[in-house]
Amino acid sequence: ADIDATDAWAINHNNITADGDTIVVAIVDGGFDTHHEDLNYFVNYNEIDSNGIDDDGNGYIDDAHGWNVGTNTEDVYGTSDPHSTHLAGIVGAIGNNAKGVAGVCWGVKILPIDRHSNIESDVVNAYDYVIAMRSLYNTTFGTKGAFIVSTNSSFGVNNGNPVDYPIWCAMYDSMGAVGILSAAATANLDIDVETQHDMPTECPSKLL
């Protein structure tokens, strides 16, 4: 339970790398409170909002403020279930501002993706968007896309066997190939996932 966050903050709590890259964490979950005053959401400034055109050429139309896999739009707003916003706060709530809490990485940019699911195709589509944004960043030397360093996915399939979800598991290697690590939550159950299985935390990827 002790991640020594305060010791790390004493060394560095910037949301920008030494090379000047703005750090982005992609969170795949439900709807987000995109107006929250203590969160720093990623904005895709290479996309002109609501003009019906894929301005940045990443394969997604009007994705200025994240992506909703279910509706194929940028509409990720939602407050009925606070889980997504809660996760975003743990990851990157702005620190030392006398508001709310401090995230692990103060003020890191949050890329919201609406689609927590136990359906493999939904998860793959969500991760495809993450890969598209980081790949675009890599190929354009940072002029487009997003410097996504990690995903967070606090959902899965209790007792799910990875052999039944090969494409889902393979996505972690695919994200790793473009420079992305992934964090995932295991089952909220008192079980040994190595014998009773869990998706995705039992996937064999070294990048998860």
Q: What is the DSSP letter of 146?
A: -
Given this model, what pLDDT does residue 180 score?
A: 98
Measured CA to CA, the distance from residue 180 to residue 128 in angstroms comes to: 12
Find where tokens 């793959």 sit.
Answer: 124
Length of the chain in terms of residues written: 208
**CA angle at 89 for the pair 154 and 38, rounded to the nearest 5°:** 155
**CA angle at 179 for the pair 193 and 82, rounded to the nearest 5°:** 55
Measured CA to CA, the distance from residue 176 to residue 205 in angstroms comes to: 9
Q: How would you list the strands of the sheet with 181-184, edge to edge?
A: 67-68, 109-114, 24-29, 148-153, 181-184
Q: Copy the structure tokens of residue 80.
A: 């009925």
The per-residue DSSP string of 159-201 comes to T--GGG-HHHHHHHHHHHHTT-EEEE---SSSS-HHHH-EETT
Given this model, what pLDDT does residue 147 score?
A: 98
Given this model, what pLDDT does residue 1 score?
A: 63
Alpha carbons within 13 angstroms on the beta-carbon side of residue 98 total 0
Residue 136 main-chain phi, psi, to 5 deg: -65, -40
Q: What is the DSSP letter of 32?
A: B
Residue 153 main-chain phi, psi, to 5 deg: -135, 95
The answer to whether the beta carbons of residues 142 and 148 sit under 8 Å apart is no
pLDDT, block means (10 residues), the chain with 208 residues = 87 93 97 96 97 98 97 94 95 95 95 91 97 98 98 94 96 97 92 92 91
Find where tokens 């064999």 sit.
Answer: 204
Given this model, what pLDDT does residue 56 score?
A: 98
